[in-house]
Structure 1
Amino acid sequence: MSRRNNINMMYVKTEQEIEYMKQAALLVSKTLAEVAAFLKPGVTTMQIDKLCFEFVKDHQAIPSFLNYHGYPYSVCASVNDVVVHGFPNNHPIKEGDIVSIDMGVILNGWHGDHAYTFIMGDVSADVLQLVKITKESLYKGIEKAIAGNRVGDISFAIQEHTEKKMGYGVVRELVGHGLGRSLHEDPQVPNYGKRGNGPKLKENIVLAIEPMINLGSKDVYTDKDGWTVKTRDGKVSVHFEHDVCVKKDKPLILSDYSIIEAVEKKNVHLNTSYYS
């Protein structure tokens, strides 16, 4: 979940706390793998929400998003031109849809929060490339999550790979964020910015880095429900997110996409042809 906040303090974690956060992040990854197995044309995002709620509860955790500032569901289910915060609904998912699922859990008092975008069957080459580049940009940003670097180093890396190289729209209104006992902590982590700008990254803070990239314009608007954010031009948007612990030499990714990808590759309804 992406949200601007007014907290103004970075929370440095102990090694034990980072281990707790890793467990929370891995539960999110395992839940998203359940989604990867379940997805096929005809299922609904409301069914996905129920699946995730039950899986999280079965693992003695709490859905982070449910009732957060009044958000009424366990997951954000954003399809096609929905950027983030899409309400689950009863509309059947169809061939050619782009489905982004963003979710969080609270486990042992600590949050995990990340997102993954799935491709339902055949899509245009442009959309396939958008998914590939957005996922790549996440890792470009993560590479800069090193103690002593600035938030702007992460932001610049994502923007350069998406907007500057490809001409995609990088959403301005929504940002990544710190993560811990609260779902949103400082620092905010925009997906655009200048190298060397912004707060200095401290070792053992945890960030939710989450590029939200549009095929067309960067411009978005919020639907009448007060949550659902859509592209203004109606073009597709893609969202990927990892939980990352800042370290001295190499970032530590707490979440694990390989759990999701292994299942995704086995689901004949999902398109993974963009994998390198």
Structure 2
Amino acid sequence: MRSVLFLATAALSLFAGLSTAAPTLQSTDRKVQMPRRYIENEPSAMFSKRQLIEEPTRIKKTKNLAARASTTATLYNYNIQILNTDGSVFGYVAPSSSKANYWTYTTSTTGAVAVALPSSSSSSNLVFAASGNNNVAAFVGPNAASNTMGTGSYNYCPLTGAVATAAGSVPATSTNDYNTANGKTQKVETAVWQYSPSTGALNAVWVNPDSSTFTMLGAIGNTYQNVFLIGDRSAFAKKFNGDTYTAVTFKLTLIR
């Protein structure tokens, strides 16, 4: 009987010991897990994970795009092609080797003026790479009777480089290579170019002193190779008969 009681007492003591140990193990487990849960959730106290990962990248890209936009260079990648009336290529507009002379033409793209694509299809400047006088300008010829261009008139405009004049303005005084080199005061217009993006065709529309406009005709001097914008081919050839002239049109072509 005493043996049975002893065994029962021992069993109860063992059970009580196990019951006491179980909460201790659970408490130890919580102590181990609590720091781990705290570390995992710590970033959310100040920032979301998306903010920490994505936003610095997005800000960096924005700054890079702004930097690239501010340093975009002007591309001078078009030539002014000269075409015969049948559409065949005659040559390319080229600056004169001497700024004192009218612009001429070259039969190849070597030496041809390279211009930027106009920002508008009408009343635009043709800008080329130069310091100062960097617009393709039509100026009133020194032997013209007036600044008015039109049918029946022998008045004419050679080409030179000039400081830009405003779109729609009448013939103006503007610094240009021809006047500077020759001590002249010929009137100038630069924003005369009308460009067709679909065909590449390039026309020059002159604004007369009375603000009327006239679409100029192209002509090339066969002997002296000068490029002219004129009002009337017949009247011009009759007046200036020291050379013969070829009727031409103009087109912008991408430099290959």
RCO comparison, higher one (Cα < 8 Å, 6+): 1
Q: Verify same fold: TM over 0.5.
A: no
Normalised TM-score (structure 1): 0.23
Normalised TM-score (structure 2): 0.24
